[in-house]
Amino acid sequence: MDTARPTATTAQHQVSTPPDKTLDTATAGAVLWRTAQIRAGHGPRARAATRALAEDFNQQYEGVATALSFEDGFGTRGRLHWLIHLRSLQDYTALTQRGADRGSGVFGRAAGEDDGWEELFEAGSVRETVLLPHRWGIFGTATEAMMQQGIDPIEAVDGRSRFQLLPAAEQTSLPVESLLTSASAGLLMHRTAQVHYAYRAEARVLARTLAETYNLNAKGRTSVLMFEEAFGQMDRIHFFIHMADIEAYQELMALDASPDPTAPRASYIQDWISPERGGGTWDKIVMQDSTRDGLLVPRTFG
């Protein structure tokens, strides 16, 4: 029996652009997460059609947007995922203005094209979520300490003030070239959690601390980046946990079980809520039964 570790296929092979030209979860200014359920009996056609669509999209919008394709692992069979990485949120508007593409937003066929697309997926199964890289102070979640330190995420554009979004790579002290991303990871775990409104500021501090703790301990085998949901459920936070391969999952389990004070467990047992507000650890911040994990496997384009 061959005991050599198999090499995981990444989503980078789906695009012709080199890694330093590919937008991904570390370098994008916004990410559009789209899911759809393939209609029974249409698997090969649906996968072929979406592959052609992604390849055409990536070629046409190189440097502005990158679409990467995934499929559920250990989830619903035939459930497809696309992560459409945008250079900026403003580019979303620009791309939708390229033509009426059957209500498909930035990722769909142009007006007048009919390839039987509507027959390939279950009616009502297509869902889109806009995800923004977390930055301190987003959605009014800066703590009092941050305000006193003078954090300033506001920029002036054409005489108007707006919140400056930064790529998720800015969240970590590690160099961007050392990070696993949606393009370079062998597996992508997507974790969501709903936090209590009363502790929304503390929740962001906890979440970012945990993410960086994993990043520093995983030794390049896992990278964790945090995103905020826009135009959806308020205070639902998203983590993309980029793993080199399936063994990295067990390595994360080992980190969670480690008594080392630099491991994640220390953050789970720490008080994040001030004594003036009653105190409390992570279980008082995250709503019961709200945390969900999904495993996304990069689709293989032969």
Q: How confident is the model at residue 102 (pLDDT cuts 50, 70, 90)?
A: very low
* Residue type for position 50: T
- pLDDT at residue 8 tops 80: no
Q: What is the pTM (predicted TM-score) of this model?
A: 0.91
Residue 206 or 117, more confident = 206
Domain membership of residue 4 (yes or no) is no
**51-97 confidence digits (pLDDT tens):** 888 888 898 888 899 999 999 998 889 999 999 999 998 888 777 77
- Statement to judge: residues 174 and 213 lie in one domain: yes
Strands (E), the chain: 30-37, 65-73, 79-86, 127-133, 154-157, 160-163, 187-194, 222-230, 236-243, 292-298
pLDDT reading at 99 higher than 60: no
- Predicted confidence (pLDDT) per residue in 132-141, tens digit: 999 998 988 8
**Which string of b and e fits 6-35 if b means at least 16 CB within 10 Å?**
eebebbbebbeeeeeebbbbbbbbbbbbbb
DSSP state of 280: B
Cβ proximity of 203 and 196 under 8 Å: yes
Per-residue pLDDT at 113: 55
Boundary (domain end) residue, out of 89, 110, 131: 131
Q: Is the pLDDT of residue 257 over 70?
A: yes
Q: How confident is the model at residue 153 (pLDDT cuts 50, 70, 90)?
A: confident
Highest mean pLDDT among 40-49, 105-114, 245-254 belongs to 245-254
Say if 69 falls within a structural domain: yes
Question: Residue 155 domain-assigned?
Answer: yes
What is the three-class DSSP state of 27? coil
Q: Are 134 and 204 in contact (CB under 8 A)?
A: yes
Residue 104 vs residue 159, higher pLDDT: 159
Predicted local distance difference test score (pLDDT) of residue 145: 79
Asked if 182 and 278 sit in the same domain, the reply is: yes
- Domain of 179, CATH number, reads 3.30.70.100
166 and 102 part of one domain: no
What residue type is 215 in one-letter code? N
**Owning domain of residue 147:** 141-298
Instruction: Tell me which of 104, 131, 158 is where a domain ends.
Output: 131
Please say if the pLDDT value at position 98 is more than 70: no
- Domain count of the chain? 2
Rounded mean pLDDT, 187-215: 96
Q: Which residues pair with 201 in a beta bridge?
A: none
User: Does the pLDDT value for residue 227 go beyond 90?
Assistant: yes
